[in-house]
Amino acid sequence: MKGLGMVILAGALAGCATNPGVSGGALAPHLESCKGVSEQEIAGLFDRWNRSLQTGDPHRVVANYAPDSVLLPTMSNQPRYTAQAKEDYFHHFLEDRPAGRIDERRIALGCNTAVDSGLYTFTFARTGAAVRARYTYTYRWDGQQWLITSHHSSAMPERK
């Protein structure tokens, strides 16, 4: 039975060992260890992001995003791919002093990834306005911290 167990283990490891980035078609082992995480920890990442909004500093907000992340923002039709483009968006967004509140959410956990999606409301202290929106944050563990890899937010359409 030991021999069969080794064959099964070798097959499982071979499935994890592909690395298409290696030249010459050679396969190099790529065994990823998964960071343990709870739904509460992922929910706390929105709180971290929201606290960074309260600083009024676009650079602090953008520090939550991975370098290769995508921001599809609520208050702009322009996708933001670079840190500079994200800072430009947040510079204008932060002028009205926004604060977010989660209205409902679903969190899915993966190996070094997580998705938080649902509905949230932003209130703006400067204008008193409120915007309800749909959102999706995807996160990746970079070995030291969870960072946003994509953030999509769109204002709720009017109900008919």
CATH code of residue 68: 3.10.450.50
Full strand arrangement of the beta sheet holding 98-109 = 65-72, 146-155, 130-141, 113-124, 98-109
Query: Digits of tens for pLDDT over the chain (160 positions)?
Result: 444 443 333 343 334 433 444 444 555 565 679 999 999 999 999 999 999 999 999 999 999 999 999 999 999 999 999 999 999 999 999 999 999 999 999 999 999 999 999 999 999 999 999 999 999 999 999 999 999 999 999 999 876 5
Q: Per the structure, how many domains does the chain have? A: 1
Looking at the domain assignment, is residue 160 inside a domain?
no
Report helix, strand or coil for 114. Answer: strand
Boundaries of domain holding 75: 39-155
Pairing of strands 146-155, 65-72: parallel
Looking at the domain assignment, is residue 67 inside a domain?
yes
Q: How far apart are CA 13 and CA 98, in angstroms?
A: 48
Looking at the domain assignment, is residue 144 inside a domain?
yes
Q: Which of 90, 89, 20, 28 is nearest to 58 (CA)?
A: 90
> What pLDDT was estimated at residue 159?
65
Looking at the domain assignment, is residue 6 inside a domain?
no
